[in-house]
Amino acid sequence: MQTGYYAAAAGMVTQFNRLDNIANNLANVNTLGFKEDNLVIGDFMRIFQEKRDELPNANQTKESAKFINRTMTRAPQIVDAYTNHSIGNLQRTSNSLDFALSKEGLFFAVKTPQGIRLTRDGSFSTNDEGKLVTKQGYEVLSENYFQNNKNGFITIDDSDSIIVSDKNGQISTNIPNSIKLTENQKLFIAQPQDIKKLKKEGDNLYAFKDIKEIQNISESEAVQQGFIEKSNVNAIKMMTQLIETNRLVGMYQKAMSTQMDDMNRDAIEKLAKKV
């Protein structure tokens, strides 16, 4: 069995998966609040070291040599995937319904047909009912949603010409025909207990298993009104990785061709000479 061929084929599949990941990051380079995804590939040196440290046989023996040889035939593979939750650049818009979070690990909470979800995209607007919603029409939750979900949304009246928010997400609007402000609802600023447990969904949303794992941060000091958070994807880094991955695919393809064509042809020619 030509183990080199199968190792090269597995390595190529790994790079195809990496290409898909890079392409998704590049496609969302302009998506507000998007967080870059990354893959961890277990290369030969890492696998070799792990297995060497776990060697079940005495060193310098025939059994240990066979074990190491079996380990060496292992192909590169994706061993882990993670999301980079670092903060993207904050861009000023001066739109009173745009909000950004200046601290890592905090999210806005919204209500979707699938349930409560989290998002970093704070480019909000109002619907026909005056409720604060996302671009997809999902209602933005207020701090008291879980105490009184009938009044757990943020409503902006057409007569509210002044809309201001403090750094904790407390929204205030003006009394009609005056510049005097009165407190409205307060944004629900969500912080998951373990950010690694969040699962990405469509529409730039994050799902979680249990609402008990999410806590409201009343004094977050992170809300920036009139700003939006850009994607944290580094386009130059992604393009560099794209070129690198394409080259690796070509190298694996060459290795497969060498294994199946050149080596087989050489073996056949040698056998023919002996016959």
Distance CA 62, CA 65 (A): 5
Q: Token pair of 270, please? A: 């040698």
Q: Are 185 and 143 in contact (CB under 8 A)?
A: yes
User: 127 Cβ partners below 8 Å, 6+ apart?
Assistant: 133, 137, 139
- Burial class, 205, CB count within 10 angstroms (exposed 0-12 / middle 13-18 / buried 19+): buried
| Whole-number percent of the chain with pLDDT over 70 | 80
pLDDT at position 183 is 85
pTM for this model (two decimals): 0.78
Identify the band that residue 44 occupies on the pLDDT scale cut at 50, 70 and 90. Answer: low
Residue 275 pLDDT level (bands cut at 50, 70, 90): low
Exposed / middle / buried, residue 8 (Cβ in 10 Å: 0-12, 13-18, 19+): buried
* Res. 80: pLDDT tops 90: no
Inform me whether the pLDDT recorded for 274 exceeds 80. Answer: no
The span from the CA of 52 to the CA of 50, in Å, is 6
